[in-house]
Every structure is written in C-alpha cells, then in structure tokens.
Amino acid sequence: MSEIHFVENEKNERAGNTEGVMEETTKKTKGFLSCILDALDEEYGITKEGFYHKEDWQLLAAIMLSAQSTDKQVDETLPGLWERFPTLEEAAAAPVEDIAQAIKSIGLYQVKARNLKKCFGEILTVYGGNVPAELETLVKLPGVGRKTATLFLADAYGIPGVTVDTHVFRIAKRLGWAQGKNPVEVERELMDLLPEEHWNRINFQLIYHGRKTCTARKAKCGECILEKWCGKKF
C-alpha cells in the first residue's frame, strides 16, 4: 500500500470513529431527554414573563430591541418608549433621531432605531396596522430575522417554534441533541427531537442556562444541573 493510500485510509478510519462516537453520544443523551427537560422545567420554569406592551406591534418592537441586549435593559426602556409613542401612527411618523433618543440605553440603539422606524412604517402602510402572523412574511419586515419572528409568533399567537441563538446552538451541541453546522440546521434537529409543548420554553431555558452555567468559555460543569446527562461526558 502506498503512503498516500495509507494516510487516506487512516483519515477515513479516524473520521469513521469520530462519527461513531458522536452517534453513540447522541443516542445516550437523547435517551436522557425527559430527564433533561424535567430538570430545565424545575430550574427555569415553563413560562417567561413577556415584555411590557399593549399592542402586537409593541411586542414585536420589544423583541427586536432585545437582540444583543439584556431583558433588564429592554424592560427599563419600554415604559418610556410607549409613553412617548403610544400609537403605531405616532411611532411611524416619529423622526428616527427621536426613536434613537428613547432607546439609547439599548445596545446598537442607532441601528435599531432605523429598523424600528422602517418596520413601523411597513406595518402601518403595507399591512394596515396589523403585524403579520406568518413567519415567511414577518422576516421580510426591516430588522426582523428568523429568531425575532419565531419569538413573536410564540408570544403573540402561541404558535410553537424553536429559536436558535448562540446559547441554544452551543448547548444543543454539547448535549448531543444536534450536530448541525448552522442555526437553521440545529433548529430543524431540535424540532424533530423535542416534544412540541417544549419548543417555546426551550428557548428561554437554554438561554438562561447558557448565561448562568453552560457558558461559552469555561463552562461550570461542576455546578450544572444537567452534568450527569451531558454529552460532554461520553
């Protein structure tokens, strides 16, 4: 056997072994699925208090503001924002500088102000003041991505959906729940794996768990409520 063929065979064998280990890990962690879900329910609850709003367009705006910002920052901003712009018509007509001033404590507030201004305008003029209830239509609105749209549909209309941010992506991979290379692939895997009644709450549960324990760097495995079932052990 030539050296080249030997090296190729060795690489293929290692790849096969790696895939085998991953498959075995996935089988084990999926077998613990109900235990993990019960632990998450007990630790983080099954419902999350929503952002302050009176109308659907305000809820969508709040979720848009929450990207790369903390819930606390958003919660502190919303009362003043809705007091200043109580109707969709007033929000859509407001100068972008005024919107930016009202949300300046939020991360990326200037970009978000421009997106909000455009989004308010489209909801008013294109959709008659009603926020669309379909994912494919929602993601066409300025500043509304797949994650924002899914969260909005879950909160506003109770439509089940899984959103994959950096925390959900990381923890799903560590648990052996998913092997996808991007958020959309992982989203599909989680929807195939998880009972539908867990779709909406898994979003905030894994986000909280990722911030508190399963951090990107130096995960606190010794303190983790899921440690005994985690794919990292196998």
User: Which residues have a catalytic role annotated?
Assistant: 147, 165
CA distances to 59, 105, 132 from 151, rounded to whole Å, are 10, 22, 13
Cα distance from N-terminal residue to C-terminal residue, the chain: 35
Interatomic CA distance for residues 82 and 6, integer angstroms: 68
Question: Using an 8 Å Cβ cutoff, are 160 and 154 in contact?
Answer: yes
**Residue 90: which residues within 8 A CB-CB, separation 6 or more?**
none
CA distances to 143, 192, 196, 201, 224 from 154, rounded to whole Å, are 18, 18, 12, 10, 28
Interatomic CA distance for residues 215 and 210, integer angstroms: 5
Interatomic CA distance for residues 233 and 102, integer angstroms: 47
Angle, CA of 224, 230 and 231, to the nearest 5°: 150
